[in-house]
Amino acid sequence: MMASRPQASFLHCELPPVASYTPGNRQRQSARLPTADGGSRMDEMIQPGTHALEQLQAEQFESATAAPRSGKPEAAASAVASNVVPFPTRLPASPQRHQGNAVLLDYLYGIDDGALQNTPSGHIRQLFDYATNSPAARALRCRRRMVARAIDETCLRLGHGARILCIASGHFREAELCQSIRYGNFGEIVVCDSDSECLRVVNQCYGELGIQTQCVHLEQLLHGPCQFAGFDLVYSAGLCDHLKDKACRQLAEQLFRALKPGGKLLLGNLRMRIVGIGFLQGLLDWRPQYRRDEQLLNLLRGVDYKDIAGARVFHDIGHRLAFLEACRYG
């Protein structure tokens, strides 16, 4: 089975050295490059680069939308979305797609090197390099590694009896880093997302390894009866970044029900004051919901405390993201 496993290319699989984390003031971050380590030189670089990026985006949008001769508006949207500089063409949220974007995460992970090789040079290349190597981007790559480690730890402990549930999977790229998935040392892994295209990619890349997929919409997950049960590990790496507190509490309550006694829930969330996050916010029109440690713990308020054997919040080494971990009693 391993011989037919699809191969993926990685340009940035290994994390760069973690930058020191120094919380700044409480001013609202703008979509400018941070000046703590570069000051005016960085500003001088980004201003002409941003202008060039806007021009490129406008030209590509015009060329894409000027050819709906095929009678298919989605073809024009697809042409814009295939921009070799992916950040300004972030796909909007829809009833079928939450605000995350699996294609952009693939770029941050270093996947799809063919598109990366065609990225323009000069200021636009500098913008792209900064966006993909900033502390915020490294935090997302670190999150992927932490999730992969949690999967491997669960499978190492339980072997072929391990049952794992992933919610809002995107392209499920943590599978590339999991030894347990590579060697088939698990019982069942169910990957859920509301985007059928994401699930198609998961099936194409990892279906032969035994990964199962299921289309689950957010409203169905939050307000419908819990359709999952008996899992040893249930996790969602990035969905909480896009949900308000009430919806997040409902999510935690529903996913906790899916655990078997002794099972573990993991919910990831970005922390406040990540260096350079304003740059990605402005470029992607991305507004994640940041949470402090106590806010993450409060997400368990809807869970009966008698069912919780233990709960904690832990961070990555750069303190840029946090995970809520809750274990079910039993």
Query: What are the sequence ranges of the domains in the chain?
Result: 40-136, 138-275+287-328
Q: Which of 109, 107, 146, 103 is nearest to 128 (CA)?
A: 107
Output the pLDDT for position 206. Answer: 97
Beta bridge partners of 215: 193
With a CB cutoff of 8 Å and minimum separation 6, the contacts of 148 are 174, 175, 176, 177, 178
Select from 3.40.50.410, 2.60.40.680, 3.20.20.150, 3.40.50.150 the CATH code of 138-275+287-328: 3.40.50.150
Q: Length of the chain in residues, anyone?
A: 330
Output the pLDDT for position 103. Answer: 83
Residue with tokens 């072929």: 160
What are the CB-based long-range contacts (under 8 Å, 24+) for 86-89? 86/115, 87/127, 87/128, 87/131, 87/280, 87/283, 87/284, 88/53, 88/57, 88/283, 88/284, 89/57
pLDDT in tens, 71-98: 444 444 333 333 434 554 445 555 444 5
Distances (CA, A) of 156 to 160, 163, 165, 166, 290: 9, 12, 16, 18, 32
Classify strands 308-315 and 321-328 as parallel, antiparallel or unpaired: antiparallel
Output the pLDDT for position 85. Answer: 47
Assessment of whether the complete model's pTM goes beyond 0.75: no
The ranges of the chain with pLDDT < 70 are: 1-100, 112-121, 124, 279-280, 282-285
Output the pLDDT for position 125. Answer: 74
pLDDT in tens, 247-305: 999 999 999 999 999 999 999 999 988 877 776 676 666 778 999 999 999 999 999 99
